[in-house]
Structure 1
Amino acid sequence: MLLDRVKPLDAILAAAEKKSLKRSLGAIQLMLFGIGCIIGTGIFVLTAAGAQKAGPGLMLAFIIAGAVCVVAALCYAEIASTIPVSGSAYTYSYATMGEFLAWTVGWALVLEYAIAASAVSVGWSGYFVGTILNEFMGVQLPAWLAAGPLVLGGAEGGFINLPAMFIALLITGLLMIGTSESAKVNAVLVAIKVTALTIFIALTLTSAYFDPDKFNPFLPAGLFGGFGSGVGAVGAAATIFFAYVGFDAVSTAAEETKDPQRNVPIGLVGSLVFCTIFYILVAAGAVGTIGGQPIMGPNGIPFPAGSEELARQCMMPEHAQALVCSNEALAHVLRQIGFSGVGNMLGIAAFLALPSVILVLLFAQTRIFFVMSRDGLLPEFLSKVHPKWHTPHVVTAITGCVVAVGAAFFPVGQLADIANAGTLYAFLMVAIAVMLLRKQRPDVKRSFRVAGLWLVGPLTIFGCAFLFLNLPSEAMFVLPIWSVLGFVIYFGYSRSHSHLGRGIVEVVDDIEGVEHAIPIDTPESRRD
């Protein structure tokens, strides 16, 4: 049977019990933690791509994406507090739906984190080239070194995004030798990001350039552009979803939260609502000052974000200063309304803060790879730990090279859409896992229980599926193609090498190799 291998939940929970984490986080601390995790690449980088898809309707797109995140976050919180071990959605699926579906989730997460790291690297490159090189150093990097080809086969202006490739490889090197973010450094970066965006909102909304007429028409591409079109407010929401990725980190803190039944939903929903309002105000400031209407094609539909056609339009004088054509949208807005110095400071804030996001994404991706390798689903050499650095150096190096290649040759909008495809699938599977676990193991201790799971669960499934279907068709097709490759690996290698299939359960909770091996009786183990 394809779905017969389910990792024993009791073995996973036995490992979790050994952690004995102290409950010290309150609602406000969780909310601040969530804000720090969420605010980052999406708002700094994807504002231009979102505006090209939806125009001023970008503000509505933030609401739609945020609403889906709220219900997904509640599902995530319950299962994270029930199964608080490494592996995220992959481990949750393994314990409820079996090895094969867990493999598909883990494989999708590998895609999500790697592509997301590439997207952030491209976003960082835009601020590095526009603010650090152009504005401060007066250096004009040749166009062919500052951007990758916009479509496969090449396009005008770009060949390789060298800065994006460089930052991806640099962060990979830091991760390999064991450098990680300290809490103090992360707190400083969060303060920089929030302060920069607050100043942006204040300056734009009170500017003499602000004109309500620039919001008309509010939905130039309509509310719903059609499945696979990637345009309209809903299509923009599917892309803007990237701006919220990170909220699941709050969910995993449920085990360390005081009174989790009260504080977890306050922390999760509070941080998401705060960020949604923040994002709407940023979008309003950008659109209201310099305009945010998309550049329309001859058929009245916006040119695809990151396309060759849009690149050609952006080289024309009448569009050169448009919001939708900027690689550093927020800094660009401030320069256009006379705040060049502040715009440069915001560019520096993004330049400083975005590498930490790349680090977190690469860290998460390599740890998913690591856990899958320790389960026997991927070759064991991938889970080798360096004797001196105590990091999974092999898988980190491989991942970093793939991320660097993606950053070097693809535009940020396309990368974000592809990353969202994997994210939405994983969140959908988490919602299914929560409902299954409620039915399969009602006796298991839950630090946090979702109120009204009968409604929240299906809403999460519907919301994630709906946004997935509103991604551009090219991004939607990447996930099934990636999955087919995963099926080949699973049936060609993983299923026969699986530790669970051979009768051994290993639960690994850290890179140092703390594991709990429990023999179980299976037909495969009796044959060995």
Structure 2
Amino acid sequence: MSLFARIKPLEAIIATAEKKSLHRSLGAFQLMLFGIGCVIGTGIFVLTAAGAQKAGPGLMLAFAIAGAICIVAALCYAEIAAMIPVSGSAYTYTYATMGEFLAWTVGWALILEYAVAASAVSVGWSGYFSGTILQEFLGVSLPAWLAAGPRAPGGLINLPALVIALLVTWLLMIGTRESAMFNAILVVIKVTALTVFLALTLPQAELARFNPFLPAGLFGGFGSGVGAVGAAATIFFAYVGFDAVSTAAEETKNPQRNVPIGLVGSLLFCTVFYILVAAGAIGTIGGQPIMGPGGVPFPAGSEALAQQCALPQYAQMLVCSDEALAHVLRQIGFSQIGNMLGIAAFLALPSVILVLLFAQTRIFFVMSRDGLLPETLSKVHPKWKTPYIVTAITGAVVALGAAFLPVGQLADISNGGTLYAFMMVAIAVMLLRRSHPDLKRSFRTPALWLVGPATVAGCVFLFLNLPYLAMAVLPVWGAIGLLVYFGYSRSRSSMGRGIVEVIDDIAGAETAIPIDPQ
């Protein structure tokens, strides 16, 4: 009995997809706008300080490196999303190409990715809440032990991050979702705030502040998490969301032309936008890291860095700010506009937490539906009509992570799962080209012989440049997942019991195909 023999019939998945009658209405420009809205937001508001501590002015190069890897990964996503446009994302794609076991590892990694990412955004929101709303507007400062986790001097628990995570969880449990109009307004707020930031900072930028450009070097060494490449591994978080564009391939006019334009165009726009924001921040108040022993930057989010930032000579540095962009504007004399930018982040970030929590519970739901997780996890509340049990469990874990861990470390941990999932998608696309060459593909990844291996290599390269602790989390989490799979999931999965059901959550279609259990 082969461990890799349980492959979900691709025909069943595609049969379900074909029952949806999606109208091709999106053009290249619409896809670009959609991509920009999905990508710009959390990372640039939250991770600018952590990235600068790792790379200094080289943060600009880090954005370019991460953006390039995202572009090749996006092209792989586009082909397979157009072929298999059903729930489950990378988990479903892997199930259809490499089998249940590897699909389990991808789903398990995605559970980690979304939960930890939601914690990271909660911590980022907390910085803007404490700095802009409480201190600047209300003149109130939270006690140190309530404003940050134990790694900060005097810190014990990040209460605002804990509260926002639990509040969003509650909203998701009772069925509240953001509307398309609300999301569009938030996109406008975010892009407008960052555009104003550029208009105010770039004219005041000084070239001298960019020297040295790479204070920690281009490549700090595998597992170091520093240098421009180490920063790229962290701020890769700022690009997550582009895969949502890939899923729109089925609804795109002339997808072979418009999907690459939409994907590459939106990612190029975001990359240039991010580089300019980094240039504006660093060029006005400086972005050199605080160096530790041996001329190596103190790790972002570490207790040692927090102790340095508590000293008067470092307190106003970019790398020490919990609300970096608002802090920059205050430092150059635009306090009120800085506060407005802080409010923009304060308003926009909770919706990101909601989307991440929703995505995580969606993966849980699909895996539970496949029998890989207990059915009770996806039990729907009779009144709220939501999977309230798994949402509550997820929210509790997210809140605990947000309460006790710094944002930089959370982003690094989240990126480990993301990079693994992206790598598996690229492998799945290449395998499908060989196993199902004649299947209809409304979009074909150009030069897959180059783009596919480049995606795999890029994801592995960034993963190896995460800090050792962040790298270790994924295999440890994976080992726990293997215990769950072999102890529970393998014997109870639908494939193991000889039946596979593919249910489309939008159309309500269901396809059941008997199979031989392996």
Q: TM-score range by the shorter chain?
A: over 0.9
Q: What is the one-letter code of the residue matched to 2:194? A: L
Aligned to 2:289, the other structure's residue is in SS state: coil
CA–CA distance in structure 2, aligned partners of residues 157 and 40 of structure 1: 30
2:324 match = 329
> For residues 65-113 of structure 1, what are the alpha-carbon distances to aligned partners after superposition, in whole Å with 9 as ceiling and x for unaligned?
0000000000000000011100000000000000000000000000000
**Structure-to-structure mapping, 1:107-506, within 5 angstroms:** 107-150=108-151, 156-207=153-204, 210-506=205-501
Uncovered stretches (5+) of structure 1, i.e. residues with no partner: 524-528
Q: Give the aligned partner of residue 80 of structure 1.
A: 81
| 1:518 counterpart SS class | strand
2:1 equivalent to 1:4: no
Q: How far apart are the structure 1 equivalents of 2:154 and 2:500?
A: 53
Larger mean CA deviation between 378-387 and 74-83 belongs to 378-387
Question: Secondary structure at 1:505's aligned position in 2?
Answer: strand
**2:68 maps to what in 1?**
67
Amino acid at match of 1:29: Q
Task: Say whether the 8 Å CA contact 1:385–1:511 is kept in structure 2.
Answer: no
Percent identical across equivalent pairs?
Answer: 81
- Alpha-carbon distance in 1 for matches of 2:252, 2:168: 31
> In 2, are the aligned partners of 1:392 and 1:511 still within 8 Å (CA)?
no
Per the TM alignment, residue 267 of structure 1 is displaced from its structure 2 partner at its CA by 0.6
Range with bigger deviation, 502-511 or 139-148: 502-511
Match of 1:510 in 2: 505
1:96 paired residue number: 97
8 Å Cα contact 1:385/1:512 also seen in 2: no
What is the distance in 2 between the residues matched to 1:107 and 1:508?
Answer: 20
Check the 8 A contact 1:82/1:446 in 2, yes or no.
yes
Which position in structure 2 is the counterpart of 1:44? 45
Q: Alpha-carbon deviations, 1:335-371, whole Å to 9, x = none?
A: 0000000000000000000011111111110000000
In the TM superposition, what is the alpha-carbon distance from 1:513 to its structure 2 partner? 6.7
Deviation at 1:451, TM superposition (A): 1.0
Q: For 2:356 and 2:440, how far apart are their aligned partners in 1?
A: 30
Is the CA contact 2:119–2:165 (under 8 Å) kept in the aligned structure 1?
yes
* Cα distance in structure 2, aligned partners of 1:388 and 1:11: 32
| Separation of aligned partners in 1, 2:218 and 2:85 | 39
Alignment coverage as a number of residue pairs: 517
Corresponding letter in the other structure for 1:27? A
TM-score, structure 2 as length reference: 0.99
2:312 and 2:507 map into 1 onto residues whose CA distance is 57
Q: Distance in 1 between matches of 2:253 and 2:54?
A: 42
CA contact (8 A) 2:413 2:474 kept: yes
Taking only aligned residues, the RMSD between alpha carbons, in angstroms, comes to 1.0
**Which amino acid in 2 is paired with 1:158?**
G
Question: What is the DSSP-based 3-state SS (H/G/I as helix, E as strand, rest coil) of the residue aligned with 2:512?
Answer: strand
Q: Please give the alpha-carbon distance, in whole angstroms, between the structure 2 residues aligned to 1:80 and 1:143.
A: 46
AA paired with 1:337? Answer: I
Q: Is the 8 A contact 1:390 1:511 kept in 2?
A: no
4+ aligned runs moved over 4 Å, structure 1: 511-514
Report how far residue 393 of structure 1 moved.
Answer: 1.1
**Is the contact between residue 147 and residue 159 of structure 2 (CA under 8 Å) also seen in structure 1?**
yes
Structure 1 CA distance for aligned equivalents of residues 160 and 267 of structure 2: 31
- Does the residue aligned with 2:384 lie in a helix, a strand or coil? coil
Q: Whole-Å Cα distance in 2 between the matches of residues 55 and 429 of structure 1?
A: 32
Q: CA deviation at 1:454?
A: 0.4
- What is the CA–CA distance in structure 2 between the aligned matches of 1:466 and 1:352, rounded to whole Å? 35
Q: Offset of 1:507 from its aligned partner?
A: 1.2
Over 3 Å counting, the alpha-carbon distance change for 1:466 and 1:225 in structure 2 is: same
Distance 1:114 1:512, change over 3 A: farther
Aligned to 1:25: 26
Could you state the TM-score of these two structures normalised by the residue count of structure 1?
Answer: 0.97
